[in-house]
Amino acid sequence: MVGQRARNARAICTRVAAAISKGGDAVPSRSPLPALLPALSLLLVGVAGLAWASVPPARLGGQVVVIAPPGTSQIRTLAMVAGAQGALVAPGRFANIAIATSPRADFAAALRREGVWFVFASPRLAGCLGAAKEDPAL
């Protein structure tokens, strides 16, 4: 039994020495990605949850950010707002984004019926980037 263990240990040492002499690693390297996937997925879910929780609820008559499907023209986005009986406050940086308002209580639902993907309350400040340029309070 002891002789068998000694032969096995010698065989392992011989293979390791041969691998090292050829310039290879003695122990094959493993990618750390599979071990990190659960942590990365929890991080993404947590950040998405924090972003969703930080969006204030839409108020009656308040301004909302309207996000239409990607590739929607600015005219089509404005037509969606008008179709939901809303008014344009400001166009967004992209053609499919606009800031709108309406006195309707079901304005967000009406926008979704028009084909808008996302509707949420328009923040007065631009998040971490500071105040919006049109804010007269500054």
| Predicted pLDDT of residue 25 | 57
Same domain flag for 20 and 68: no
Domain containing 15 equals 1-28
8 Å CB contact between 85 and 105:
no
Distance CA 71, CA 84 (A): 20
Q: How many domains does the chain have?
A: 2
Helix (H) or strand (E) run with residue 108 in it: helix 107-114
The verdict on 67 and 15 lying in the same domain is: no
Q: 104: how many CB neighbours lie within 10 A of its CB?
A: 15
Let me know if residue 35 belongs to a domain: no
Residues 115, 72 within the same domain: yes
Q: Do the domain assignments include residue 8?
A: yes
Residue 103: give its domain's CATH number.
Answer: 3.30.70
- Note whether 24 and 68 are same-domain residues: no
Residue type at 101 in one-letter notation: T
Tell me: the pLDDT tens digits for 81-137?
A: 999 988 888 888 888 999 998 888 888 889 999 999 988 887 654 444 333 445 444
Q: How far apart are CA 63 and CA 23, in angstroms?
A: 65
